Amino acid sequence: MLRRDFLKMQGAALGAALINPQSIFAASPDIVVVHGSPAMATRKAVEALGGMSAFVQPGQKVVIKPNMSFAASVDTAANTHPDVVRELLAMCLEAKASSVRVLDHAFREGQKTMEYSGILGACDDLMKDVCYNHTRSRFYQEFTLKDAKTMHKNSAMQEVLEADVLIACPVAKSHSSTGVSLSLKGQMGLILDRGCMHGRYDLDTAIVDLFAALKPKLAVIDASRVLSTNGPYGPGKVLTPSEIIASKDPVAADALTVSSYTWYGRNIKPRQVAHLLEAQKRGLGRMDLENMNILRLSV
């Protein structure tokens, strides 16, 4: 090839890249894994997905759903790390959300579980009156779960039904009934009647029914500590990966979390978690991790 022809080819390629700048950059990540302190890793993970403004627009109403149902300390890994929740709250406020609520339906009334988890104090330091434990029916409204297979009706928190953006923010932990409790399973903390999911319906199918109806826009999984046995309450074996896993696809985030750590002392595959497999079959998310762009960072 003559040198002038080679230079012409280079110029043409550069011109195409300038017309389509994305062609010279790697595709945006499907999943981000950040190793570091909970707060810094949370912020870095969301920034790598385009920042909170990619999920929350000015004036929108946001609900953050962590685990804060248990009167247990941070080191038990029964609840989401308070620094993770606080950082998400801060980023939502920076994105100019009109309101942000941190919500859960604990197994007891009052503020004790939120206090023991450390989440209430962490959020109050930033902004008062954002954390709520809704246990009474007056906070809920019946709704229809569109395209559900089994659970066609339930009652969800009014604030969830009115929200523009739902962020799933679970701690990574095992569960005696479903194997793991992550982004999908965690949505059960937003409805009034959870008992029917255990007794009236197949639990894993109902979890996907609920997930499909609520549709979190962002999943940020707290794997700073992982309750790998005896979940969801503990005490159990706690791993300390010091990681945050984030994705706009909660199924993918859950799948990577399952594949990243040991559960009950052994490795399991995402397809072995019935509700993840069901969600993939319904086209609600991906589990083909080998085909995904997974970005790993440290802070």
Q: What is the pLDDT of residues 7-38, one digit of tens each?
A: 444 444 444 444 444 433 457 999 999 999 99
Does pLDDT of 152 surpass 50? yes
d(CA 5, CA 14): 14
Q: Any idea which of 16-30, 132-146, 214-228, 242-256 has the lowest mean pLDDT?
A: 16-30
Structure tokens at 287: 């589990």
Q: What is the pLDDT of residues 172-183, one digit of tens each?
A: 999 999 999 999
Q: What is the pLDDT of residue 26?
A: 53
Q: What is the pLDDT of residue 277?
A: 98
CA 170, distance to chain mean position in Å, is 6
d(CA 115, CA 277): 35
* Parallel/antiparallel/unpaired status of strands 131-133 and 31-35: unpaired
* 4 — pLDDT class (breaks 50, 70, 90): very low
Structure tokens at 114: 């939120």
Does pLDDT of 50 surpass 90? yes
Q: What is the pLDDT of residue 107?
A: 86
Does pLDDT of 42 surpass 70? yes
- Return the domain boundaries, the chain: 26-298
d(CA 25, CA 234): 44
Phi then psi for residue 168, to 5 deg, are: -85, 130
d(CA 116, CA 240): 20
What is the average pLDDT across 66-86?
96
Task: Decide which of 2.40.50.140, 3.40.50.11440, 3.30.70.1560, 1.10.10.10 is the CATH code for 26-298.
Answer: 3.40.50.11440
* 103 — pLDDT class (breaks 50, 70, 90): very high
Mean pLDDT of the chain: 92
Determine the straight-line distance between the first and last CA of the chain, rounded to whole angstroms: 47
d(CA 60, CA 54): 12
